[in-house]
Amino acid sequence: MITFQSVLPRNMIENSMFEEEPDIVDLAKDSTSFPVVYEPRSSRLLVRGLGENDMDEEEEDCESSARLLGMSFMNRSSAQRSSSSPYTRQTQPRSCSRPSARTMVVCVFFLVIVASMTMVLYFLPGCTFTKSGCRSPNKTTPLVPVYPISSNGELFPWAQLRLPRSIQPLSYNLTLNPDLDNMTFTGRTVIKMLVVHNTKRIVLHSANLNISKATFKASDLTVLEYKPRQQIAVKFSEELKVGQYCVLTLDYSATLSHTYDGFYNSSHIDKDGIKRVLAATQFEPLSARKAFPCFDEPAFKATFLIKISRKPDYMTLSNMPKAKTTELSNGLMLDEFEKTNVNMSTYLVAFIVANFTPLSKNVSDTLVSVYSVPEKKEHTSYALDTATKLLEFYNNFFEMNYPLRKLDLVAVPDFLAGAMENWGLITFRETTLLVGKQSSPLEKQVVASVIAHEIAHQWFGNQVTMSWWNDLWLNEGFATYMQYMSLQTVLPKLDIGNLFLAVRFRALDRDALNSSHAVSTEVNTPEQVEEMFDSVSYEKGASILLMLNASLTGDQQFRKGIIQYLKQFRGLNTDTNDLWNSLTQLSTQPQNVSEMMSSWTSQKGFPLVTVSRKGDQVTLTQEHFLLTSDNATYTSRWLVGYSCDLCFHSQKQVPESVKWLKLNYKNTGFYIVHYGDGGWDALKEALSNNVSVLTQEDRASLIHNIFALSRLGRVSFHHVLNLLDYMSKETETSPVTEALLQLNNIYQLLDKRQEHSVVGRMKDYILHRFGSLMEKQTWQEEESVSKQELRSALLETACSLNKENCTQQAKVMFKKYVESGGTFRIPGDLQQVVFNVAAQSNEDWSNLLNMFVNVTYDAEKRKMLLGLASTQDPLILKEGLKGDIVQTQELPLVISTVCKGFAGYLFAWDFIQENWDQLIEKFHVGSFAMQTIIKSATSHFSTQTHLIQVQAFFSSLKDRGSQMRSVQEALETIRLNQRWMDNNLSTLQKWL
């Protein structure tokens, strides 16, 4: 890979087939704001461009041929040539002389090689070797791309993933004509543009669209397409000049996508059992180009005016309110929406053709509506109430009102993502928006969290947008942070703090791997863009914002800083430094916020802080917490704010009478602390004497940290078990759920290794350690979210370990549920426990399947699906879960659940290998769904045999997924599991 940025000379000569010299300057200007990367493939040749002192044609052709053969016998100055050189040009007599036999042989040999090379170059697919690509004597000149071949055989006038910056779109006028009977659509896109740099080309995006006509200045144009990069281009014989306004019109047709991106078809079964079809959009991050030709990058913002035709019995939705409806001559209706009053990135455009019903309410001059299929309208009131409260909160918190006149939240029956923040038209899964009237507070917590996240995006992401996907965290990290922060104020009864703490722990686990990446990292391929949607961008991004807020002193400095950031860059695109600079301007810290926070965003990982005590001296040191140290040479250092009770590489005076220390109060810092053997013993003794000596967040963080240190090899598993001795006195949710999660993970590793004696001991240990807490749990309705979380975790563990009184109670409850035809109420937080137990019986599995087919409430239906997938009967797993009853959107979740059990984890791995091509067609390489599938299928492998098998499979994929970061994570996790087993298996029996 060859990268260049500002070194591109402005007088570089491009391939003369495309542009004159002024537009070559254009290429340099196009590349000033971001690195331009060329990725050589086997079918592509990269050669150097000429500098200022160009050779004459004869000398150039000769030298380039020689260099291709690995020969450098040409010199620019004859004065430098030795007279004895066999290649010195001599004055020849005018009469011809007969060449020697040796000379003839050499010349023939030379010509054969040249001819061979010419043939090779001629037959190289997708590239052209031209004069402008020969090597210049100035070896400091950069590489220029060789243009690829478009689908019609012509050279395509662009060779980069990112579009040129010669053209800035100003507005789109879109007309879409979906045909839901034939699952096709036609469209017309009219783009008004401004010429930013002189150019003879317009390059934009289009994927799977059949362009039937292109018009520019009343003239028809030929559209070139380069499918590998989903780009199209039009060329002009005369330059478009800087400052010129122009309009490009493109007519096209396409098939509605059968995957979950672009303009795709969906369906649902109504209350009468009739299948209803609809069409919806899902554009993040590279899918708007699949619905209409466009400049599909975040920085190309424009306004949009959208028109959609439909049958009279359908309705349409888009980002803006509907302006008017016109009846067409063919009996269809044409809905026209208001032109957007904001500039939008293409990934935020959305439209839907369906038959939905709204529930609406006005708040702060905005009409808020929640849409669903008609039979589920009764499940929309909670979402509407939550959305209106959150909209008012954000308007006040950001001191900047939501800019549109309406905000729709739409439950789409078949939707892969949890939700998508399209401006003014947020789309959701039904399970993340609809709430039944008898839903549990825990179910409401899930829905409220997703709504809070997506409405926060209307500011972070929509109004201020990252310039490129490498800074995705500016969108997702902020929205994640705001979802937890806002709900703590708006809906405090949801007790969202426990959930935020748990996701911070999981972010630490992910970021401890060598396969992790920096929060802000280079992105050069579509697959890498997809892979940015992970826990680092979301949860780590939110975690470091929490840490920054905790470290800033003064009156709401963090809030004031982000308000300034939003106002300063409203309607614009930013990068990470813009945020830090805004916060620095309002900070009273002695340390620059940008300097401090760059250490957290520009490098992967986080620090391990080690506490050492000697007398009254406490020394704190840091190092990179990295579970896999093979071939790692990191010297990373992280900075934290001075207001934290922690200063790395420092010494503090602590009286010797202080028996223990606990750093990182409530785990607001994104790091792990090691206290040394004596420090851990002191903390264990303190907790044994008085659990309340630490907050529940601090107790949970101790549990998480010591398990992580055990995995690193810094503490023995014996120390882990010693700390957990105090758990018999624990009653709070976070410490218990974290301990159960860690222990259950080890139990599953042992179980899948079939280490039966140790598995039995681990089971006894868990039931003994948490048995009294399990016995105290009731099976009645519980209002407290925190207590619901606690008992669902305890009872799911108890029943999965076949604790008899737990499984018997669940069976009794399921029997009542079946006999009542589903009217008997199982508390929402206990439904998963009950359905999991029912699925272990063949008869009850069938009963559960029948209930699943007929139930209408989505959250309950999903829990039934998870129960069905938890069966330990391999035959049922193979034959029972057919695609005709399970929505494809749920497949990653089903695979994840199947992999948890011994009966299913090898079955799932075989399924993935056999169906890989179908999976990546449906979910795409690098997508979050594929990340989930890969992680689920491999996370409990711990043997060399499985490591070799997984390596071999993914290596065979090549460009079908072998380079995914999630693949590297899977291999690293297997090695870590193997290492843990090698280090601990032989001694677990005596410890348990």
Question: Which of 579, 604, 629 marks a domain boundary?
Answer: 604
User: Residues forming the annotated binding site for Zn(2+)?
Assistant: 453, 457, 476
Whether 346 and 464 share a structural domain:
no
Best mean pLDDT range from 102-116, 448-462, 590-604: 448-462
Give 939's contacts (C-beta < 8 A, 6+ positions apart): 899, 970, 973, 977
Banded model confidence at residue 986, pLDDT cuts 50, 70, 90 = confident
Same domain, yes or no, for 339 and 364? Answer: no
Both structure tokens of 700: 């949970």
Query: What's the pLDDT score for residue 654?
Result: 81
Cα 53 to chain centroid, rounded: 47
What CA dihedral angle connects 650, 653, 657 and 663, to 10 degrees?
-40
Residue 41 has pLDDT above 70, yes or no: no
In a domain, 57, yes or no: no
Q: Are residues 324 and 182 in the same domain?
A: yes
350 pLDDT band (50/70/90 cuts)? very high
What is the set of active-site residues? 454
Residue 357: which H helix or E strand, with range?
strand 357-363
What CATH code is carried by the domain that includes residue 404? 1.10.390.10
231-240 and 199-205: which strand pairing? Answer: antiparallel
Residue with tokens 């602390």: 673
CA 71 distance to own-chain centroid: 48
Pairwise CA distance, residues 580 & 866, whole Å? 43
CB within 8 A of 667, min separation 6: which ones? 501, 504, 505, 697, 698, 700, 701, 704
Task: From 340, 355, 370, give the residue that closes a domain.
Answer: 355
Task: Specify if 806 maps to a domain.
Answer: no
Please tell me the predicted confidence (pLDDT) of residue 269. Answer: 86
Question: Alpha-carbon Rg of the chain, whole angstroms?
Answer: 32
pLDDT for 49 equals 27
Q: Which range is least confidently modeled, 77-81, 185-189, 488-492?
A: 77-81
Q: What is the CATH number of the domain that holds 183?
A: 2.60.40.1730
The answer to whether residues 456 and 593 belong to one domain is yes
Average pLDDT, the chain: 85
Same domain assignment for residues 360 and 322: no
Whether residue 417 sits in one domain with residue 277? no
Instruction: List phi, psi (to 5°) of 588.
Output: -100, 10
| 820 occurs within a structural domain | no
* Structural domain contains residue 169: yes
pLDDT at residue 177, as a whole number: 98
Residue 212: partners with Cβ closer than 8 Å, 6 or more residues away: 251, 252, 253
Q: Are residues 285 and 432 in the same domain?
A: no
Q: DSSP label at 960?
A: G
Same structural domain, 518 and 564: yes
Q: Enumerate the known binding-site residues.
A: 453, 457, 476
Q: How far apart are the first and last CA of the chain?
A: 52
Query: Domain for residue 38, yes or no?
Result: no
Q: Note whether 360 and 344 are same-domain residues.
A: no
In sequence order, what DSSP letters do the residues of 621-665 get, joined into one string? EEEE--S--TT----------TTSS--TTEEEE--TT------SG
Rounded CA separation 29/33 (Å): 8
Q: Flag whether 495 is in a domain.
A: yes
Q: Which of 115-129, 495-509, 961-975 has the lowest mean pLDDT?
A: 115-129
3-state secondary structure string across 402-454:
CCCCEEEEEEECCCCCCEECCCCEEEEEHHHCCCCCCCCHHHHHHHHHHHHHH
For residues 342 and 363, state if they share a domain: no
Band (pLDDT 50/70/90 cuts) for residue 88 is very low
Residue that terminates a domain, selected from 563, 580, 604: 604
| pLDDT of 629 | 76
Contacts of 169 (CB under 8 A, 6+ apart): 191, 192, 193, 294, 295, 300, 302
Three state DSSP letters for 363-376:
ECCEEEEEEECHHH
Q: Is residue 952 part of a domain?
A: no
| Residue 60: pLDDT band with limits 50, 70, 90 | very low
* CB-CB contact of 554 with 607 (8 Å): no
Question: What range defines the domain where residue 406 resides?
Answer: 356-604
Range name among 2-16, 86-100, 432-446 with the lowest pLDDT average: 2-16
Does one domain contain both 478 and 514?
yes
132: DSSP letter? G
* Residue 813 resides in a domain: no
Look at the chain and report how many structural domains it folds into. Answer: 2
List pLDDT tens digits, range 884-942: 677 888 899 999 999 998 888 988 999 999 999 999 998 989 899 999 999 999 999 99
Q: What is the pLDDT of residue 938?
A: 95
Please name which of 368, 402, 401 lies closest in space to residue 385, comparing C-alpha atoms. Answer: 368
Lowest mean pLDDT among 123-132, 476-485, 640-649, 930-939: 123-132
Q: Are 141 and 50 in contact (CB under 8 A)?
A: yes
Across 459-481, average pLDDT: 97
Q: Residue 284's closest CA among 34, 476, 511, 431?
A: 476
pLDDT, residue 219, reads 87
The verdict on 434 and 286 lying in the same domain is no
